[in-house]
Amino acid sequence: MTGRGGTRHAAAEAARLIWVAAPGGVAAFLLVTLAEAAAPVVAAWMLKLTLDTLAAGGDILWPALAMAVTGLASATAPQLTRYLSAELGRRVGVRALDRLFTALDRFVGLAPFEDPAFLDRLRLAQQGASTSGQFVSGVFGMARAAVSLVGFLAALLVISPLLALVVAVTAAPAWWAELTLSRGRAAMLWRITPNQRKEIFYSQLLGSVEAAKEIRLFGLGPFLRGRMLGERDLANAGQRAMDRKELAAQGGLGLLGALAAGAGLVWAVLAARRGELTVGDVSLLLAAVASTQAAAGTLVRSAADTHQQLIIFGHHTAVVTTEPDLPLPALPTTVPAGGQGIELRDVWFRYSDEHPWVLRGVNLTVPTGRAVALVGLNGAGKSTLVKLLCRLYDPTRGTILWNGVDVRELDPAELRGRISAVFQDHMGYDFSASDNIAVGDLTAHGDPARIGAAAQRAGVHDQLMALPQGYDTPLTRTFADGTGAGVTLSGGQWQRVALARAILRGDRDLMILDEPSSGLDPQAEHDVHERMLRYRAGRTSLLISHRLNAVRHADTIAVLDEGVIVESGHHDELMEAGGGYARLFHLQAQGYRDELVTP
């Protein structure tokens, strides 16, 4: 989101966000800011009045008291301003982050999270949300500077209209230059964001326990460190070029301001010598010239910083106002009871027009209450088909029907509420063991009986109970909780935890098991296979596995080859047909037989 229209839209969104987050804080901040801005102007006038009264031999008590009061205000207002600014920033930041990640939840599929340009925008959107409170400080800093500028310019107008005009004119180039620089800095941040994301990636990799073994075994530390520093150097080069532009522009503007101030001071001294100005006039003029330039500079810098913040916040606004990546039905329908199950009808899919077809004209039915297995070599499209069933993507062509209803006509949340799944690349969260299972169905969070029952059926209950704090043990060593009892599970144990999540979801209409035993040893694989065979009895299920022996009891086995269903039938039928399935089955079986006869 760029341009004046985008900046205005971002400003409107930021103002609305700030007011909703803390209306009382905004009002208090405004009052304190105005008082802080007015105090120096009042103090300068009181000093002039005091000096002139003193020179005339008059009573200076009241002017002196007024100076004392304004001095007290000048001393206390900055502390109040800092506190209110920080508190307002915290409240606005929380609301902005909540708004951003609530918007991310509206994305139905996975495509945005696989788009580097979107991820760059998301990083800047997070930065905009985290620093949204600075917009408040910037706006009120502009207000504070504007009040001071107007007050001291008025003082200059009283003493010398010409000098007031000169000071005002010298501020105009600074305004233009700072706004131009702010646009340039925002553009620079957008350009270096990919480098910064890569730097973060390499730094996290270097400190990751998952990568630590290979980094040390293969001696990758210097290589990865070199790449990390290379990305930092590229980002630094962009920042350095921008800093040099700012140095040249701001240095020249500072010199122009100093020349104007110096000329004004020389004039004031000469005018006082001629008796055209009083001592109080000179003191007011000195204060006014210095404070006018300072206020003008603050106003310009605050405006430039606020402008830059708005450009960055524009990325936040762009993300939160982006339409869902997949079309949503205006009037979602529901899946009728009964029916024939799930049908993929001439489904074609590719990730973009530049990518090859992953699925090509797939026709497949998963009947209600039956188990269908999908087998094939790596890259055949099995996991992609699972993503389509969960509507993480939509078919490029063709239709997926559930009891005769196109899944695109369903509310995605309602569709996914009907599915239980174990994904091949399941997550291991840095949570407690209990929470790692509860994420499968958050209605069970805080219900040890349900969580324990799911773990029991997945065959991981005893291992979790044996942990230092049982189910409350953190399954990570990334975060310290004061107990020092965090542990990491083996791949096979994580696999069973993922199974427990799926089991926790209960009697969903469809269970998807995508390589559920890929991380297990043969004995554990057999145990999980038997458990899942009992659990999915009578349930609609889709099984995906490279290990053909694990799916031989499925009601139907479909062989996927290069995105096409090339064979389909029961295990015995496919073995009798002697096609690709039979060849792969004999190949795997031969491997086990060779192991048995090896001396």
Residue 66 sits in the same domain as residue 172: yes
Tokens 């310009």 — which residue?
A: 300
Q: Considering the domain boundaries, does residue 373 fall inside one?
A: yes
In this predicted model, which residue has the larger pLDDT, 67 or 385?
A: 385
**Which of these, 326, 362, 370, lies nearest to 344 by C-alpha position?**
362
What's the CATH number where 543 sits? 3.40.50.300
Residue 388 sits in the same domain as residue 478: no
Section 440-466 average pLDDT: 92
Whole-number mean pLDDT of the chain? 83
Q: Find the helix or strand (DSSP H, E) in which 516 lies.
A: none
Section 40-57 average pLDDT: 75
- Residue 1: pLDDT band (50, 70, 90) is very low
Given 270, 290, 320, the domain boundary residue is 320
Buried b vs exposed e over 93-108: b needs ≥16 C-beta within 10 Å? bebbbebbeebeeebb
HSE-CB for 536 with a 13 A CA cutoff: 31
Please give the pLDDT value at position 596: 47
Residue 277 sits in the same domain as residue 364: no
Q: Classify 443 as helix, strand or coil.
A: helix
Strands of 371-375's sheet, edge to edge? 419-422, 510-514, 541-544, 371-375, 556-561, 564-569
> Is 147:34 a contact under the CB 8 Å cutoff?
yes
Determine the distance from the C-alpha atom of residue 161 to the mean position of all C-alpha atoms in its chain, rounded to a whole number. Answer: 52
Q: How many CB atoms lie within 10 A of CB 576?
A: 11
> Is 581:559 a contact under the CB 8 Å cutoff?
yes
Q: Which of 11-20, 215-224, 358-367 has the highest mean pLDDT?
A: 358-367
- Tens-digit pLDDT profile for residues 120-139: 888 888 888 887 777 777 78
What's the CATH number where 182 sits? 1.20.1560.10
Q: Considering the domain boundaries, does residue 247 fall inside one?
A: no
HSE-CB for 435 with a 13 A CA cutoff: 10
- Ranking 30-34, 52-56, 84-88 by mean pLDDT, the lowest is 52-56
In this predicted model, which residue has the larger pLDDT, 338 or 442?
A: 442
The dihedrals phi and psi of 506, each to the nearest 5 degrees, come to 75, -150
Residue 140 sits in the same domain as residue 119: yes
Mention every residue, 6+ apart, whose C-beta is less than 8 A from residue 346. Answer: 361, 362, 363, 397, 398, 399
Given 293, 320, 347, the domain boundary residue is 320
Residue 88 sits in the same domain as residue 164: yes
Domain of 438, in residue numbers: 428-507
Q: Considering the domain boundaries, does residue 300 fall inside one?
A: yes
**Which of these, 91, 103, 83, lies nearest to 29 by C-alpha position?**
83
- Residue 343: pLDDT band (50, 70, 90) is very high
> Is 496:459 a contact under the CB 8 Å cutoff?
yes
Q: Round to whole Å and give the CA distance between 343 and 584.
A: 26
In this predicted model, which residue has the larger pLDDT, 455 or 189?
A: 455
- Ranking 88-92, 139-143, 344-348, 402-406 by mean pLDDT, the lowest is 139-143
- Amino acid letter, residue 313: F
Q: Does the pLDDT of residue 422 top 50, yes or no?
A: yes
Residue 129 sits in the same domain as residue 24: yes
Residue 447 sits in the same domain as residue 581: no
Section 153-161 average pLDDT: 75
Q: Round to whole Å and give the CA distance between 314 and 312.
A: 5
- Residue 455: pLDDT band (50, 70, 90) is very high
Mention every residue, 6+ apart, whose C-beta is less than 8 A from residue 481. Answer: 474
- Tens-digit pLDDT profile for residues 541-584: 899 887 787 788 889 999 999 899 999 999 999 999 998 889 98
Output the six-digit token pair for 557: 């086995």
Residue 387 sits in the same domain as residue 457: no
Q: Does the pLDDT of residue 448 top 60, yes or no?
A: yes
Output the six-digit token pair for 47: 């000093």
Please give the pLDDT value at position 127: 84
- Amino acid letter, residue 328: L
Residue 458 sits in the same domain as residue 590: no
- Residue 411: pLDDT band (50, 70, 90) is very high
- Ranking 91-100, 172-181, 201-210 by mean pLDDT, the lowest is 172-181
In this predicted model, which residue has the larger pLDDT, 450 or 40?
A: 450
Q: Considering the domain boundaries, does residue 195 fall inside one?
A: no
How many independent structural domains does the chain possess? Answer: 3
Share of the chain above pLDDT 70, in %: 92
Given 474, 507, 540, the domain boundary residue is 507
Q: Round to whole Å and give the CA distance between 395 and 349.
A: 5
> Is 559:566 a contact under the CB 8 Å cutoff?
yes
Residue 48 sits in the same domain as residue 90: yes
- Residue 5: pLDDT band (50, 70, 90) is low
Q: Round to whole Å and give the CA distance between 263 and 251.
A: 19
Mention every residue, 6+ apart, whose C-beta is less than 8 A from residue 20. Answer: 95
Residue 562 sits in the same domain as residue 546: yes
**Which of these, 280, 267, 43, 64, lies nearest to 151 by C-alpha position?**
43
The dihedrals phi and psi of 292, each to the nearest 5 degrees, come to -65, -45
Q: Which of 182-186, 299-303, 462-466, 486-490 has the highest mean pLDDT?
A: 462-466
343 bridge partner residues: 365, 401
Q: Considering the domain boundaries, does residue 220 fall inside one?
A: no
Q: Does the pLDDT of residue 359 top 60, yes or no?
A: yes
Q: Considering the domain boundaries, does residue 479 fall inside one?
A: yes
Section 43-58 average pLDDT: 74
Q: Round to whole Å and give the CA distance between 193 and 315.
A: 12
Section 378-395 average pLDDT: 91
Q: Does the pLDDT of residue 262 top 90, yes or no?
A: no
Q: Considering the domain boundaries, does residue 490 fall inside one?
A: yes
Please give the pLDDT value at position 483: 59
Q: Round to whole Å and give the CA distance between 36 and 319.
A: 37
Q: Considering the domain boundaries, does residue 348 fall inside one?
A: yes
Q: Find the helix or strand (DSSP H, E) in which 277 lies.
A: none
Q: Classify 402 as helix, strand or coil.
A: strand
**Which of these, 465, 458, 452, lies nearest to 426 by C-alpha position?**
458
Please give the pLDDT value at position 591: 62
Q: What does the H/E/C string look like for 168-194?
A: HHHHHHHHHHHHHHHHHHHHHHHHHHH
Q: The pTM is what? A: 0.75
Section 214-222 average pLDDT: 84
Residue 314 sits in the same domain as residue 451: no
> Is 471:465 a contact under the CB 8 Å cutoff?
yes
Q: How many CB atoms lie within 10 A of CB 337?
A: 6
In this predicted model, which residue has the larger pLDDT, 198 or 78?
A: 198
- Residue 9: pLDDT band (50, 70, 90) is confident
